[in-house]
Homo-oligomer: A and B are copies of this chain.
Amino acid sequence: MSHPYAKNKTDLLTRLRRIEGQVRGVQKMIEEDRYCVELLTQLAAIKNATHKVALSILDAHTRGCVADAIHHRASENEKIDELMEVIRQFTKG
């Protein structure tokens, strides 16, 4: 069975490979004794890119899984509980 993010699979994989490269990049910067602030800027970029990938999947999930559960009135409350829990993980204080 495929999930709603499947239609963006290629795009998501490309973005995650780029993030993987950025994480390796920071390791290299540490090996090369690069200046702290350069590392921090790169780490902020990784967090930001990861967040954007998550928002894409969350968007597909809401339009797909959550809307389906609501249409079919099938475990509607559980799906919304789960969605709210995910939102809580991504939105802090």
**Residues on A facing B (Cβ under 8 Å):** 1-6, 9, 12-13, 16-17, 19-20, 23-24, 26-27, 30-31, 33-37, 39-41, 43-44, 46-48, 50-51, 53-55, 57-65, 67, 70-71, 73, 76-77, 80, 82-84, 86-93
Residues of chain B within 8 A (CB-CB) of A20 are: 20, 23-24, 27
Copies in the complex: 4
Partner of A61, one of B34, B37, B71: B37
Q: Are A57 and B44 neighbours in the complex by a CB distance under 8 Å?
A: no
Residues of chain B within 8 A (CB-CB) of A27 are: 13, 16-17, 20
Q: Is the interface of A mostly helix, strand, loop or mixed?
A: helix
